A and B are shown apart, each in its own frame.
Chain A
Amino acid sequence: MRIVYLICPNCGKRFYIHEEFAGHGYDWFCPFCQYMFKEGGQENPSNKPAPSPQIPASTDYTM
């Protein structure tokens, strides 16, 4: 498994994605603060804050 690190533009924490998905401009979310962003640190226009610390923020962008 090869990985690529991403830095969350919101909380600054580091997490990683599988290398095979890197460089394609996909949406990602920070597992720590649930912030949605595109690769390279751009904010995802559809980003909204997580409704609850217990619920993944991805709730918001998939419903």
Chain B
Amino acid sequence: MPKDLRGHLEDVERSLPSEIVTIDREMDPAFEVSAILQQLDEQHKYPLCLFTNVRNLKGQPGHKVVSNLMASRRRLALAMGMDPENSQMGLSLEIEKRAAYPVKPIIVPRDQAPVMEIVRRGEERDLRDFPVIRQHEMDGGHYFTMGFVNRDPDRPLYNASHQRLMVRGPSETGMCMAPFHTWRIYQENAQRGRSTPSVAVQGHHPLFFLACAMRVPYDVDEYDVVGSLMQEPLRVTPSQTWGEELLVPADAEICIEGEILPNELKPEGPFGEWTGYYSGQRQGEVFRVTAITHRKDPILVNVFAGHRDHTPPIGWESEVFRRVKGAVAGVRSVCIAPSGNGMHCYISIDKTSDGEPRLAAMAAGSMGFFKLIIVVDSDVDPFNEQEVLWALAVRFQAHRDLDIVRGVLGSMVDPSMDQPRTHSLLILDATEPKDRPLPQRSRIPLEVMERVKLRDYVAPEALERLR
């Protein structure tokens, strides 16, 4: 069976049953789904949530929404076919390894594409038939939040990204593109007075969306990246609007075909973004829908913006690792910490000289997104933030180990920026200095730790009760 969302839901149910919850009560797409996700978040719980009875934008109940699809590294490891326990650097390195070997997609006829089971064109195309979520109080409307695919104007080179699409009516949404590949394609078309054929993919296997979140060079076809992550060719099929000129993922849940209109702007937003703040209302591009295709009883995937579910950086760790490896051979691990919503990066290295932490930080900083990079020794787990902060407490001196790089390209939705598009990067070297001897870390004798096991002294049920 080709990889798809439904298969992933079954995998999680079977292998990680404590990480999925089904909610059958009728819910309003405006704020109610977010309220449930927020309360789970406050308990530090991030289960894959399947809402089976959400009203669509016409008030009709019975529609399905999945959220927290990307909220767990363990479930992403499972999606990769890996041991969920190997979900830290092992996961990122596997992503890096697979991405190096592109797998070309295969084209299947429309009648073999589940996403073409229902085709809506002309008057039948109506975005309000879907349970599009309105997440936060001041959001400008209901937003589609998942994948967005278009291609180079002159070459069959596919670009996949995440884009927010604000529903304006049956066949139109607003857009807010960051100046990356999607925007570049739009600009090239707009300069020629042409619209940009695109497809919004609102439900697929999590590795499809992981590929959408990865930062790969423009010349890399991101359908190939999906295939490399899945370790099988992505099945694609001709779109209803452009045929083989724009291929769409055959095993998606919902594909919204449309075009970004050239040189047309309308008010869009606010939207509660990944920062945890609203981005202000702005004049944004217009996406006009030409056709909607979907499976029977489709499942809409929704990213809970600004929360654990909104963590594309998992797909960046491998790229950061690769860049740091080029500068410091002894890099051990890279973590883009959830606490910084993507802007905090912790790097552990086997340090051989005092200059290496700064080299590692500069290499990671070339990603252009981070505002804080902390470099630690390899005895510190960068995935354990408490350990990282401990290293900062005992190995770092601000007058000696701190650097600020000013004027780095940042994100336009960072509320702390006082200059358009630039921020500062803080580099903290929390490694032990090499120029003088340091005392050893205190520890329990290893032999005793091996011999005296907690489970032999405290019963498991008692351990479970303890807080």
Task: Quote the shortest CB–CB distance from B52 to chain A (angstroms).
Answer: 19
Q: Please, which residues of chain B bring their CB within 8 A of the CB of A21?
A: 282-283
A62 to B191, CA, bound (A): 23
Binary interface profile of A, 32-60, with partner B (CB < 8 Å = 1, else 0)?
10000000000000000000111110111
- A58 in contact with B266 (CB, 8 Å): yes
A29 to B268, CA, bound (A): 9
A38 to B174, CA, bound (A): 18
Q: Please, which residues of chain B bring their CB within 8 A of the CB of A18?
A: 279-282, 412
- B414 in contact with A1 (CB, 8 Å): yes
**B376 at interface, CB cutoff 8 A:** no
Q: Please, which residues of chain B bring their CB within 8 A of the CB of A20?
A: 282, 420
* CB contact under 8 A between A31 and B140, given known A1-B279, A16-B270, A18-B280: yes
Task: Quote the shortest CB–CB distance from A24 to chain B (angstroms).
Answer: 8
- A28 in contact with B281 (CB, 8 Å): yes
- B281 in contact with A16 (CB, 8 Å): yes
Task: Quote the shortest CB–CB distance from B266 to chain A (angstroms).
Answer: 6
* CB contact under 8 A between A55 and B128, given known A31-B139, A63-B172: yes
A63 to B139, CA, bound (A): 20
A21 to B412, CA, bound (A): 13
* CB contact under 8 A between A16 and B280, given known A31-B138, A58-B169: yes
- When C-beta atoms are compared, the residue in chain B nearest to A32 turns out to be B138
- B138 in contact with A15 (CB, 8 Å): yes
Which residues of chain B (154-183) have a CB below 8 Å from chain A? 166-170, 172, 174
> How many A residues face the partner with a CB closer than 8 A?
26
- When C-beta atoms are compared, the residue in chain A nearest to B134 turns out to be A54
Q: Please, which residues of chain A bring their CB within 8 A of the CB of B172?
A: 62-63
Q: Please, which residues of chain B bring their CB within 8 A of the CB of A15?
A: 138, 270, 280-281
**B340 at interface, CB cutoff 8 A:** no
**A3 at interface, CB cutoff 8 A:** yes
**A17 at interface, CB cutoff 8 A:** yes
- A59 in contact with B169 (CB, 8 Å): yes
**B81 at interface, CB cutoff 8 A:** no
Which residues of chain B (251-275) have a CB below 8 Å from chain A? 266-267, 269-270
Chain B, interface residues (CB within 8 Å), range: 35 or more
Our count of residue pairs bridging A and B at CB distance below 8 angstroms stands at 92
Q: Which of B28, B168, B412, B417 contacts A62 (CB 8 A)?
A: B168
**B294 at interface, CB cutoff 8 A:** no
Q: Which of A26, A32, A54 contacts B142 (CB 8 A)?
A: A54
Q: Please, which residues of chain B bring their CB within 8 A of the CB of A16?
A: 270, 278, 280-281
A59 to B267, CA, bound (A): 12
- A55 in contact with B59 (CB, 8 Å): no
Q: Please, which residues of chain B bring their CB within 8 A of the CB of A2?
A: 417-418, 420
Task: Quote the shortest CB–CB distance from B357 to chain A (angstroms).
Answer: 31
- When C-beta atoms are compared, the residue in chain A nearest to B166 turns out to be A56
**B141 at interface, CB cutoff 8 A:** yes
**B380 at interface, CB cutoff 8 A:** no
- A17 in contact with B266 (CB, 8 Å): no
- When C-beta atoms are compared, the residue in chain A nearest to B271 turns out to be A31
Task: Quote the shortest CB–CB distance from A6 to chain B (angstroms).
Answer: 8
Which residues of chain B (22-80) have a CB below 8 Å from chain A? 28-30, 57, 59
- B141 in contact with A56 (CB, 8 Å): yes
* CB contact under 8 A between A58 and B415, given known A1-B279, A63-B170: no
* Among B166, B168, B413, residue most surrounded by chain A Cβ atoms (within 10 Å): B168
Which residues of chain B (318-338) have a CB below 8 Å from chain A? none
Which residues of chain B (408-436) have a CB below 8 Å from chain A? 412-415, 417-418, 420
Task: Quote the shortest CB–CB distance from A23 to chain B (angstroms).
Answer: 12
Which residues of chain B (118-145) have a CB below 8 Å from chain A? 128, 134, 138-142
* CB contact under 8 A between A29 and B267, given known A1-B415, A55-B57, A63-B170: yes
- A63 in contact with B169 (CB, 8 Å): yes
Residues of B within 8 A of A (CB): 28-30, 57, 59, 128, 134, 138-142, 166-170, 172, 174, 266-267, 269-270, 278-283, 286, 412-415, 417-418, 420
Can you identify 15 A-B contacts, CB atoms within 8 angstroms? A1-B279, A1-B415, A4-B280, A15-B280, A15-B281, A16-B280, A18-B282, A20-B420, A26-B267, A27-B267, A52-B59, A56-B167, A58-B141, A58-B174, A63-B168
Sorted nearest first, the 7 A-B pairs with minimum C-beta distance are A56-B141, A59-B169, A58-B168, A18-B280, A18-B282, A16-B280, A17-B281
